[in-house]
Amino acid sequence: MTTRSTILTCALTGAGDTTGKNPAVPVTAKEIATSGIEAAQAGAAIIHVHVREPKTRLGSMNVDYYREVVERVRDSGVDVVINLTTGPGARFVPGDEDPKIAAPGSTITTPERRVEHIMALRPEICSLDMGSMNFGPHVFANIPAHLSTMAASIRDAGVKPELEVFEAGHIQLAVKMVADGVFEAPCLFQIVLGVPWGAPATPEAMIFMRDQLPPGANWAGFGIGRAQFPFVALAAMLGGHCRVGLEDNLYLEKGVLAPSNAALVEKAVRILQLTGATVATPAEAREILGLRASAARSL
């Protein structure tokens, strides 16, 4: 069991069709920012941010929505590390008549468009999905050339990429890209478990993927749905950091919808304390991850 401080991230809303399943999932930029502030006050050192279209309540790439969330959080006076997603823009659904042509539901776009908000807002961290896979019913397309383009922009913005790995092959690609100079070591990895059809949410999968990481890497890991809280304890005990939030899980316990992101964070804090872990402050998270001071609160 590690005695190092454990960083707790809260993933606030995601982009999935979850708002009808739990009314606590924040939708508007104001709701997302408020939820992030509350999560930070509850003990999250990092908030992971997607934004949504208020009318459709589905995921959005609107830079103005990201800007409003970031400014509201920064202006609140609450200290927290902001992590913006770059995941949207990678979904491809092949057409029935011509599979080369994207069908409705595709969001595939250029790598430059996917990091536009990162260049504009310069958060301390942004996620970067390290590979392609079947993601539920559609294809999640992240080819090496696009990842290299995005990584260069992220580096130029002075932002730390959080490398999201959904299966072991994604780690191998990341290791190759580190060797090629695309990413600076030590990297930050996020092991994502339980997403159909990635690696399963099992202890064996987390241990195996942790053991594939390059020496000296910082890492966090989580399981979705019912695996969320057991994997808070497991990740911490394996030497990693943790993530909870309404993006990944809608329930506080079996049959009980989570009333807020803050409630999920509070439960995760209790679990970490029971394992003997110390929950990191935002300042400690910055030190552990080696975040560049120039990226923090640059607006």
pLDDT digits (tens, 9 = 90+) for 78-110: 999 999 999 999 999 999 999 999 999 899 999
**pLDDT score for 137:** 83
Report all structural domains of the chain as residue ranges with CATH numbers, in order of start: 5-295 (3.20.20.70)
pLDDT of 230 over the 70 cut: yes
**pLDDT score for 4:** 75
Mean pLDDT of 69-85: 97
Mean pLDDT of 149-169: 97
Other C-beta atoms closer than 10 Å to the C-beta of 299 total: 11
Mean pLDDT of 19-38: 98
Q: How far is residue 132's CA from residue 174's CA, in Å, rounded to a whole number? A: 12
**pLDDT score for 298:** 45
Q: How far is residue 270's CA from residue 124's CA, in Å, rounded to a whole number? A: 27
Q: How many CA atoms lie within 13 A of 57 on its CB side?
A: 10
> Which residues neighbour 84 within 8 Å (Cβ) at sequence distance 6 or greater?
48, 49, 66, 70, 117, 118, 121, 123, 125, 126, 127
Q: How far is residue 118's CA from residue 7's CA, in Å, rounded to a whole number? A: 22
Mean pLDDT of the chain: 94
**pLDDT score for 136:** 80
Please give the model's pTM, rounded to 2 decimal places. Answer: 0.95
